[in-house]
């Protein structure tokens, strides 16, 4: 959004990375790997990672000869989710915690406060896995994932028995210099989607804001997804909307979870951006991954005169041939935590987290 524009095992992670954005990994072997830039792994105190250190290092030559690059953040995330089932089993939750730094900060924006520390994260994820599996089989599907090495983000869906799907959301994961997970922000979709009412609420909250002159910027044409997002938010935001629009593909699909329906095409996206362009509102970026084909980043909505900000996550995917944005997913946090409707839905349908699930696979790409 320019204003709201904002693994499986070792082999499976590798095949996923080099084959582009597919819905299902090409191979599923039981393992989890500590993968670093240039495919060089170092032993850590985390037993769940150490067991595959030697295997990774022994494969370095083959990877180099094939001119392939391991994307450590993406590969680790896919391994934890698809192989260890970190979001749907107790054992997987423990595996996730073992891949974290001791001082991990996990922002589950469904909860009132961040979860801090490896032990606390393990307890949180185990509790949720148990709750979700109480009345049936709980699944977790990655719909899209950015190709980040130091950080990455992914769009996801809660599923059950491969027959139903429910809650959607986005998660951002950042690694430290030791390739341990040091920061996570996770935001589920709001079950109540206000639509255009959110515009009226924000305008009312900023009614007394003083208009500011548009920022000066030097026109650029970045080609990498993360660089495009940085340019749109950090350089162009609040300036000429046409400068932002030239980065969107004619067939752009834009999912903002303030709305029930997706936006299709540049005309709808342009109106959306213009609707959210008024004095007193700023979308301040916080953390970016280093994705090339797709990128995920965190932000907060700062309203002039407001005591606090609303946090969010965006996911962008581009056509690498044209450098144009083809897909966007924005998800804002709820102002009340836990959100009342979301809390009731998780009690009513714990595996799916919604009141009315849909048929499995009926929402292409998790739309």
Q: How far apart are CA 70 and CA 150, in angstroms?
A: 11
20-24, 59-63, 285-289: least confident range? 20-24
Q: Are 199 and 276 in contact (CB under 8 A)?
A: yes
**Average pLDDT of the residues in 70-86:** 96
256-305 tens-digit pLDDT? 999 999 999 999 999 999 998 889 999 999 999 999 999 999 999 999 98
3-class secondary structure, 306: coil
Q: How far apart are CA 175 and CA 46, in angstroms?
A: 14
* CA 276 to chain CA centroid, nearest Å: 22
* Residue closest to 276 by CA, chosen among 233, 323, 223, 227: 233
Q: How far apart are CA 80 and CA 7, in angstroms?
A: 6
Give residue 52's pLDDT.
Answer: 35
Q: How far apart are CA 36 and CA 70, in angstroms?
A: 7
The pTM of the full predicted model, rounded to 2 decimals, is: 0.85
Give residue 277's pLDDT.
Answer: 87
Sign of the C-alpha dihedral computed for residues 247, 174, 177 and 47 taken in this order: negative
**pLDDT band with cut points at 50, 70 and 90 for residue 96:** very high
Q: Are 179 and 46 in contact (CB under 8 A)?
A: no
């Amino acid at each position: 959004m320019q204003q709201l524009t904002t693994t499986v095992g070792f082999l499976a992670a590798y095949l996923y990375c080099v084959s582009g954005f597919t819905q299902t990994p090409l191979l599923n072997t039981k393992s989890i790997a500590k993968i670093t830039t240039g495919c060089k792994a170092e032993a850590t105190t985390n037993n769940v990672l150490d067991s595959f250190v030697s295997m990774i290092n022994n494969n370095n030559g083959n990877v180099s000869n094939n001119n392939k690059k391991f994307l450590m953040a993406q590969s680790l995330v896919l391994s934890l989710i698809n192989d260890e089932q970190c979001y749907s089993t107790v054992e997987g939750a423990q595996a996730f915690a073992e891949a974290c730094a001791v001082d991990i900060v996990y922002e589950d924006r469904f909860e009132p406060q961040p979860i801090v520390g490896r032990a606390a994260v393990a307890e949180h994820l185990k509790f949720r896995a148990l709750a979700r599996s109480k009345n049936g089989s709980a699944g977790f599907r990655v719909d899209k994932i950015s190709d980040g090495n130091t950080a990455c983000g992914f769009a996801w869906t809660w599923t059950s028995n491969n027959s139903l799907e429910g809650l959607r959301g986005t998660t951002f994961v950042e690694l430290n210099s030791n390739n341990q997970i040091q920061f996570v922000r996770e935001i589920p979709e709001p079950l109540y989607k206000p639509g255009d009412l959110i515009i009226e609420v924000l305008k009312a909250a900023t009614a007394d804001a003083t208009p500011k002159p548009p920022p000066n910027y030097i026109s650029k044409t970045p080609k990498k997804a993360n660089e495009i997002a940085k340019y749109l938010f950090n350089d162009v935001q609040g300036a000429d909307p046409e400068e932002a629009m030239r980065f969107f593909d004619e067939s752009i699909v834009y999912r903002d979870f303030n709305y029930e329906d997706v936006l299709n095409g540049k005309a709808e996206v342009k109106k959306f951006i213009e609707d959210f362009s008024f004095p007193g509102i700023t979308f301040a970026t916080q953390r970016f991954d280093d994705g090339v084909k797709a990128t995920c980043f965190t932000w907060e909505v700062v309203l002039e005169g407001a005591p606090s900000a609303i946090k969010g996550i965006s996911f962008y995917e581009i056509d690498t041939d044209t450098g144009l944005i083809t897909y966007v997913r924005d998800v804002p946090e709820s102002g009340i935590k836990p959100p009342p409707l979301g809390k009731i839905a998780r009690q009513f349908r714990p595996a799916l987290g919604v009141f009315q699930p849909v048929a499995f696979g009926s929402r292409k790409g998790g739309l």
